[in-house]
Structure 1
């Protein structure tokens, strides 16, 4: 019998020694009586260090009451199964464990101690945490997607996104979008502490125009994320660029981690999403960065879709305005042609007035023909069928011919016209007919939009590399905000059929296309409404091939 017990004891000892779980025995006061190899591996203490000492050594201070409850249950003969808690290793780290504690009885059935099995569940907890984070991430992305697709008002949508991202992603979220001038426009700043949101705006204002390696401006320009998981004071000092006030403002934000990601759609940066942690003291991880980049990518597509819709809506509105304008512009000369033609047919025009009537018919028919030609030109541009017949071209002759064409209109309004052309100019490769069309358009606009008694100045500048044709006037000018739209089709600074000046709003668009086909540029400047305008055509004097090309 004794031999059998010895064999069982040896087997039990072997099982305890080879177990992957910590197997520990203790008395009813919590003093360790045995400590297997797995316990040493998991907790870092050797058997020699633990046997004879209290098990409380590996229990965190905030969990000491658990040992009191365990000992109370054991003394009552109760077993504790799979109790999940945390224990402390020798180096002070906390690890999650699953704890099973059973009473140890003597031969009379009296409880004399406890046997404890502790399983390290770190891997399982990591898997659970990962699954939980993944589920939270998926839920957040689903909410983001719903938010981004709910409305075509992308500015309000992005503000809603910033609210959703705080605190789901970070303590602080800022959204900037790239405006028409290529500058960043801030749409939203959200912070878990509203007072900090206001402070963040003040910091941004203080840093306005100062680009740093991690700034939103750099991220927007490069399309590369900025990721700073741990913000140090040295980083704040560097970012402040030697300004003590900026350093203190940055410190007052209490930032511990920061990332800024570009919103890119089809290789075009449309904005920046900036996130930071402060109050939570949480450091961003690469997983956080990937999530932020995913959100930014979805936001970029939403912005692009909304902008495309706006552009389509805008194009439809311009089309409607153009059709209304076309109807109005065609009706005026057409009525004149029809009216005088019918009067001539009926003999209602006195013989001495017939030449005048024919001149009116001819002038208005020419105006109709020009409008039709402009519409056809736009059609050819859209279809890519515009062609140049490039040859050595006398720019001085082109300008003088255009001046002769508009001279009657200039004289009729009493405008003062000056012209300065170099005496000796080399020919420029170009299509003389198309270039004259451009100059005529600029001069016609100057005559049309300059009030009686105003001035029009034409200058030609000839250098080795370029030739410039500069047309200035003292006319109505245009507001700065309208400049980006000046060369768009169907656009004039005054829209609608009630405009004071006629025209279809096609000339400048056609002019730009023709000049760009020549490898040149056309630009316009104005000090504002009522302050005149200057148009500058720049042509390369040697670069354009003498061979016809199409666009």
Structure 2
């Protein structure tokens, strides 16, 4: 016992003065008021790890239940056994461990009647940490027992905090790895550290990326009183004291724990550096520091994961843009090919049509030429050459050749229109004079057929268009009227202005248009049901060419007929100022 007393005395001499900071909470539950007073007296100057005591009291097991419910942070319980009943203290132990599920409070059982609660049975049957008879519990032994109990409580608390912290780290790892942006990850790190330390703390997370075109470190996320610092450049906008701590962390490349501020340094596998500056209302304990270090060791992978994701997303976006651009190019190319293929098909169909029509339409004039040439040969080989008859045959051959030349010119003109080789010039066109020229050119054939052509026109005016092409279109319409109007018939041509448009109407007294004719009138190689009245040839292309020319001028052409034998009216409508 002497050795024990000496050991206690050494501890007592080295005890710290009463602390003014956080205190150990000790509960005394005993029905003897003197025990409460004696305990307070013996421990009035007790301190461990610069923490004094806060003693709370209860005078029965029932009061003890209320006390423990109200103070779950009690570190040590000095508990009497015999109070309301002989086993009131033991039942309170069961209540603490089983109902309150408080496994960290250290329980020192004190009894003045050891026979009521034998030490061995109590230690075995009940979850207590020490057993003392009141008669043997001197001030020194109370000091020793309490110190051992508080150290046990402290170790348990560290274990509990460590387990809680590790659970948070494990949960946080999966959550942080789910973040797909650096901003969200940075915010998540600050939130998880505050949860890990179980305190409300302010902080900033700074990223230094050596690959960002020489840019300095910037604040990715901030919380608490620093929340308005998000996005600023550290070297330009951060307060001097904070900037100094952050830059020193980048230099030292290690954690630094101070009284109320902690600086954490993280380097990712990709070479980027992260500094987290925390400001907490209390210093971090050794357990807190260990947990924070473990947590930070896992953040490197999380940051690299986000960086890789962002790079992958950027590459994917670039790829999608390239695919979309290439798709547009291929679509346009495909459309061009389709258009070219359609033009080729039309050209091929047109070629076949032309060849068939040429074979048919040129066969008769060629036959005439061959026949007249044979007759002429016979005349030449005769003893006397009949000059007048020879000249007649030559005239027939000349007329036939002219018709052939006209057919070829018409076919070539239509081919040019079909191949889109026709170019419409934009120039002033005196429409009235142009119509008069066309009528004048057609007068010889009209006079030959004893037809009368009358023109009604306003004063001269100009439109915008291609003189040569418009002459060709109008000539086709007037020529058709002469071709199908009977001998001695009349043709009326009217030029007019109305509503910003110019009108050229050609009325004839020919056979008119059947419903079938009107349905296919402007088609290529479409011959009308009526026949030319002077034996003229027809390729079936004149009206088709005229329509295409008028269309290219932004105008329109129509045909009307009151019925068979009642003539027809063709109307050309042209804008006055067509932009070509």
- TM over 0.5: same fold? no
Q: TM-score, normalised by structure 1?
A: 0.37
Which of 1 and 2 has greater Rg?
2
